[in-house]
Amino acid sequence: MSEINENLTPESVQQEALAEIGKAQSASELSEVYNAFLSKKGKLSQLMAMMGKLAKEEKAKFGKAVNEAKQAITEAFAKKKEESEKKELSERLSKEKIDISLPGYDFGVGHINPYYQVIDEVTDVFVSMGYEVIGGTEVESDHFNFELLNVPKDHPSRDMQDTFYLGNVEKLLRTQTSAAQAHTMLEKEVKTPIKMISPGKVYRRDDDDMTHSHQFAQIEGLVVDKKVSLSDLKGTLELFAKKMFGEKREIRLRSSYFPFTEPSVEVDVSCFNCGGKGCAICKGSGWIEILGAGMVNPKVLSDCGYDPNEWSGFAFGVGVERVAMLRYGIDDIRRFYQNDVRFLKDFKGE
Ligand code: DAH
């Protein structure tokens, strides 16, 4: 393919290549040099191709000279390549130096919503007393949300809990976590003692304002065993109040009415702000209402398969937002679900 080229000699190629290698400043210039001299179509290959056309006696001498040129060029090339790689690396290292004294990025660590802080805290208190945490579903049947809790269809207490029905009167958004009581009792094939809490969302057709919301959370509690008494309930809730609101807190029980408990009580805690003297938070009374409770109605026990002659129990229901509002001085219940980032950002808990 190649014609003999008088201008292409091993010496001239070597000289030219070494000069080019010397001049090359970058990896890309070096690769141009490689292409021109060392690649398959480069000048060294062209010299090799010329050999075939030489007379026998010239071949050996020419071949030796080509080999010497090739070796010199390859060595010079490798050396320059190594130097240039080192130089480029050190340039990059000095340019890309990391200044570890610069301030880092602010990743904006968030806070746990007070709503979940309260659920976690209340859960911890009861788990430490040996309670099990039970889940539940927000879509409930009328049977579990009302009937099994001693609230038949035309019972007046249904008016207190205006319900979101889902298409028909059997399916609804639960109005109270008390539905978990009936589930827990009925799910026990062999009736054994129960000690459970069940936190979750509930829904009511309320017009939202500062203290009312169509959605809020409750934590239900249920204890069923042989010989459970009202004093067990009082002792449990006293401990709960002290853990949540401080060691000095006391509780008082006021008579109340819930269809699923008999007797029923409303539980007040002595005001953690004024210690009982009377202030704006407790509206001057020294007491703050925190939950509803009572002894499980024997009818509820027997409808759920627990013989009331053998078993007794107590139950309670805590309003999560109410506790959070009291503890953290939050003025409006709607803040819990509005997801206003300013509220969530400002709110750092304790
Ligand atoms: N379910 C009641 C409500 O939503 C709260 C409640 C009261 C739950 C007494 C109980 C209880 O378990 O014993 O108003």
pLDDT tens sequence across 233-273: 999 999 999 999 999 999 999 999 999 999 999 999 999 88
pLDDT for position 206: 84
Q: Which of 308, 316, 318, 300 is nearest to 146 (CA)?
A: 300
The answer to whether residue 163 scores a pLDDT higher than 70 is yes
Cα pseudo-dihedral 133, 136, 138, 140, rounded to 10: -150
Probe target for ligand 1 pocket from 197, 230, 316, with the most ligand atoms within 8 Å of CB: 316
pLDDT for position 345: 75
CB 257 within 8 A of CB 264: yes
CB 212 within 8 A of CB 328: no
| Ligand 1 center to 310 CA (angstroms) | 23
Is the pTM of the predicted complex or chain greater than 0.85? no
Residue with the smallest CA separation from ligand 1 atom 3 is 176
Binning pLDDT at 50, 70 and 90, where does residue 342 land? Answer: confident
CA separation for the pair 308, 150 (Å, rounded): 15
CA separation for the pair 343, 70 (Å, rounded): 76
| Ligand 1 center to 334 CA (angstroms) | 22
How many C-alpha atoms does 165 have within 13 Å on its Cβ side?
8
Residue with the smallest CA separation from ligand 1 atom 5 is 317
What tokens appear for 182 in the block? 């009936």
| Ligand 1 center to 341 CA (angstroms) | 32
The answer to whether residue 349 scores a pLDDT higher than 70 is no
The contacts of residue 283 (CB under 8 Å, 6+ apart) are: none
CB 97 within 8 A of CB 45: no
Atom of ligand 1 nearest to the CA of 181: 12
CA separation for the pair 224, 127 (Å, rounded): 16
The answer to whether residue 160 scores a pLDDT higher than 90 is no
pLDDT for position 1: 42
Q: What is the DSSP letter of 36?
A: I
pLDDT digits (tens, 9 = 90+) for 64-111: 999 999 999 999 999 999 999 999 899 888 888 888 899 888 887 777
pLDDT for position 326: 85
Report, as an integer, the average pLDDT of 164-182.
92
Greater pLDDT, 155 or 226: 226
| Ligand 1 center to 107 CA (angstroms) | 42
pLDDT for position 298: 98
pLDDT for position 286: 93
Binning pLDDT at 50, 70 and 90, where does residue 115 land? Answer: confident
| Ligand 1 center to 205 CA (angstroms) | 17
Binning pLDDT at 50, 70 and 90, where does residue 7 land? Answer: confident
Residue with the smallest CA separation from ligand 1 atom 4 is 176
CB 268 within 8 A of CB 287: yes
| Ligand 1 center to 221 CA (angstroms) | 9
The answer to whether residue 136 scores a pLDDT higher than 60 is yes
| Ligand 1 center to 119 CA (angstroms) | 17
Pocket of ligand 1 (CB under 6 A): 176, 178, 220, 258, 261, 292-294, 315-317
The answer to whether residue 309 scores a pLDDT higher than 50 is yes
The answer to whether residue 54 scores a pLDDT higher than 50 is yes
Report, as an integer, the average pLDDT of 12-17.
94
What tokens appear for 256 in the block? 């109340």
Binning pLDDT at 50, 70 and 90, where does residue 2 land? Answer: very low
CA separation for the pair 333, 203 (Å, rounded): 14
Residue with the smallest CA separation from ligand 1 atom 6 is 317
Report, as an integer, the average pLDDT of 122-136.
97
Report, as an integer, the average pLDDT of 219-242.
97
What tokens appear for 300 in the block? 């509820």
| Ligand 1 center to 294 CA (angstroms) | 8
Backbone angles phi, psi at 163, to 5 degrees: -105, 145
Residue with the smallest CA separation from ligand 1 atom 8 is 317
What percentage of the chain reaches a pLDDT higher than 90?
64
What percentage of the chain reaches a pLDDT higher than 70?
96
The contacts of residue 111 (CB under 8 Å, 6+ apart) are: 344, 345, 347, 348, 349
| Ligand 1 center to 161 CA (angstroms) | 11
Mean pLDDT of the chain: 90
Residue with the smallest CA separation from ligand 1 atom 13 is 293
CA separation for the pair 147, 229 (Å, rounded): 25
Residue with the smallest CA separation from ligand 1 atom 7 is 292
Atom of ligand 1 nearest to the CA of 314: 13
Binning pLDDT at 50, 70 and 90, where does residue 5 land? Answer: low
| Ligand 1 center to 138 CA (angstroms) | 16
Residue with the smallest CA separation from ligand 1 atom 12 is 316
Probe target for ligand 1 pocket from 148, 197, 215, 258, with the most ligand atoms within 8 Å of CB: 258
CA separation for the pair 85, 184 (Å, rounded): 72
Q: Can you tell me whether residue 139 is helix, strand or coil?
A: strand
